[in-house]
Amino acid sequence: MNLRRVVVTGLGALTPIGNTVPEFWKGLSLGVSGAAPITRFDASAFKTQFACELKNLQVEDHLDRKEARKIDPYAQYAMIAVEEAMQDSGIDLEKVNLVRAGVIWGSGIGGLKTFQDEVTSFATGDGTPRFNPYFIPKMIADIAAGFISIKYGFQGPNFATVSACASATNALIDAFNYIRLGKADVFISGGSEAAVTEAGVGGFNALKALSQRNDSPETASRPFDKDRDGFVLGEGAGAIVLEEYEHAKARGAKIYAELVGGGMTGDAYHITAPHPEGRGAANVMKFALEDAGMNPEDIDYINVHGTSTPLGDISEVKAIQQVFGQHAYKLNISSTKSMTGHLLGAAGAIEAIASILAIKNSLVPPTINHFTDDEGLDSKLNLTFNKAQERVMNAALSNTFGFGGHNCSIIFKKLTE
């Protein structure tokens, strides 16, 4: 079977270090930390009192005020990022077969704030079951995909992916497969998350997953550093317009990169901890390379999952060394979560965008906040510490792993005719 080619024609980003793609890339290039004390609620009683929140965002600039009240923040963020991606793509919807245009959107948690607020209101009330009529539609994790399809009239495949922190990459791989198998021509795909709430911070604190470096939030996300103590919670959205190559070419679209392969595996090990030897992570990178018809030596850069957790960082590096062998020492490797924090179900989307822009701009974003080497990590690996590095790149691989043992890898490369 002849598989069709899939290209990236539009990008949208709403992140803790920039509310547009250019702002996001500038923050990545300069090594900016998005972490600061939480402003969304009084976090003084929590073990972790900081996060990577969105900054200077006026939702009303993008969404009608009345309509915005019916939409949970996670879906608001999705709509804002998609708006940028669609404008960036330059696609004329009047010239698109909308039955062959779809939406696949990822979110690990969905409408957490809506759920928290409604249940809290009921629990502190007089026992009368008064709930907002929009409670369920605002909360469910598929509703962002629904809103996107309604706004743009996309009538093709439309659903949500939920695989914890791998959700957005799952969504991108699914969209990629629909297009290359000839079942669609255009997709809006990506992910969003809005978990900086009392329930989100408290829940992850209970898991002992978050950094508690309250005295220095901006340095708390420190992947691969000996003194890392957990991840930093982030929020936002990333949106990518994927298009069949000939379809994009026929309309003279700007093409950022080609999506050439993806892999998905399960650790089958533990609900929150990764396999200590990186079994699932190694397998997923191998599958992505096989899917792309590429060799390990063809990859120049890996945007790692790299959450800044003691177990996760080491197991991922072990997996990279298993898959890439001696070529691992020729790679640039970096964790952009050191700057953005962990956007959970949206992480794969903004990290895919970071990988695409790294190829486009011949610049590897850094892993910031490195202070002390970890003796458990191979010091000969180039983990791109503290400062961006110039490098001409042909291909980049991005990893995202989630609670439940969900693993995804996706590969982008420069477009060749």
Q: Which of 305, 340, 307 is nearest to 55 (CA)?
A: 340
Q: Which of 228, 199, 202, 217 is nearest to 16 (CA)?
A: 217
Token pair of 374 as six digits: 């970890």
Strand partners, 243: 7, 186
Pairing of strands 186-193, 6-14: unpaired
Residue positions annotated with a catalytic role:
165
Amino acid in the structure at residue 203: G
What residues contact 124, with CB distance under 8 A and at least 6 apart? Answer: none
Pairing of strands 6-14, 257-266: antiparallel
Cα distance between residue 176 and residue 311, in whole Å: 31
For residue 152, which phi and psi values (nearest 5 degrees)? Answer: -100, 0
CB 365 within 8 A of CB 334: yes
Calculate the alpha carbon distances from 404 to 167, 274, 280 in Å: 12, 9, 12
**E strands in 77-228:** 101-106, 158-161, 186-193
Amino acid in the structure at residue 157: P
Cα distance between residue 297 and residue 278, in whole Å: 20
CB atoms within 10 A of CB 374: 17
Q: Which of 17, 33, 29, 15 is nearest to 364 (CA)?
A: 29
Cα distance between residue 340 and residue 353, in whole Å: 13
CB 394 within 8 A of CB 273: no
Give the up-direction half-sphere exposure of residue 37: CA atoms within 13 A in the CB hemisphere. Answer: 8
